[in-house]
Amino acid sequence: MEWINDYPVDSLQIYFSASLELQEELIKHGFQVPRSRDSKIKMPIPIIYANFQGWVKSREAITIERLIPPEWLNLDPKSLGWQETKVKNRRAYYLPPDEVFVRIGVIKNVNAVILNLNVRSYHIERTSIRGINPEKWNNWVMIYINHQYIDDIAGLLEKYLDKRYLDGIGCKVEYEEQQGGKEKTYFCRVPVRDFSFCLGCFDLAWKYLNIEAEEHCRWNPRLKLCTNINAALGELKLRLRYDPSLQTYAKVGVAKIVGKRPQIMVKLSSEGPLKTINGIIKQQIRGKTRGSLTYCDHKAKQQFLILDLPRFYIALKSTKEYLNKLPSD
């Protein structure tokens, strides 16, 4: 493997809450996800969120219902650099910029490109109960990079490619809107070779799980996990790995989000097959499979995505032509 360069990531979102595999694992160990029937326990699965760069207007405050509140982590908002405010009479916070980089490399023997994340700082968010709809969600990992790097990335990858082979590769450019029309994208579908993302490797998420376990045991000391919380947490499978039997692909292209500059977009997406689990609030929950769940010791803290190199390159080159079709603020 050869590393070609590191790039700042404008924003990163990892929707672990979209994984029924993770939800089922936590429920099996006694956790009340997303909340207990008596509403005394609230436990949404965290979303890893990092907002680093790329604004073209002032950053907006985030309302409390979108955040895992600092008090849930026994933390003072000021210690995190959060500034409290009000948005339509609701508690909200201005958050300092997070910090994320992606190291891009080439795995020559399998003709693949790796995007290895270095998440230096981030915060954790949550979805509302109404917003949890794993059957409809396709995208669950989103990486956005300044569009100005598109030529640099493509140029560095080009020397690893046989141009004669590229002539036979097509790229159907698709258009999609997200976030109620606030995000407009053009992309090509790129085959996934591998990925690995672990909830427990994010220290804030691990702290959250520990505090939730203690809260659960105050709520119901008879839960199995209360016998030995540390051992119970150590038994959790929290790493999602690529499963070639699933319908997984990456959307690679360009995007424009309201308030942000145009960006290179890489979204890990899955379309099935569907999976059904026994829920807490709902008797059964049906949604798309994301990957295979495995144990992790949370030491290496790896978070990466590996894609087909020729098709990744073609997707960048093809969708670059659509940058001028993106709206401006």
For the stretch 2-52, pLDDT in tens is 999 999 999 999 999 999 999 999 999 999 999 999 999 999 999 999 999
Q: Which residues sit opposite 267 in a β-bridge? A: 142, 251
What are the helix (H) ranges across the chain? 20-28, 150-158, 163-166, 203-219, 229-234, 309-320
Q: Is the pLDDT of residue 106 over 80?
A: yes
**pLDDT for 134:** 61
**pLDDT for 133:** 58
Q: What is the pTM of this model?
A: 0.96
Residues in the chain: 329
**pLDDT for 170:** 85
**pLDDT for 130:** 46
Q: Are 263 and 255 in contact (CB under 8 A)?
A: yes
**Residues 7, 45: Cα–Cα separation, whole Å:** 28
Domain ranges of the chain: 2-59+95-325
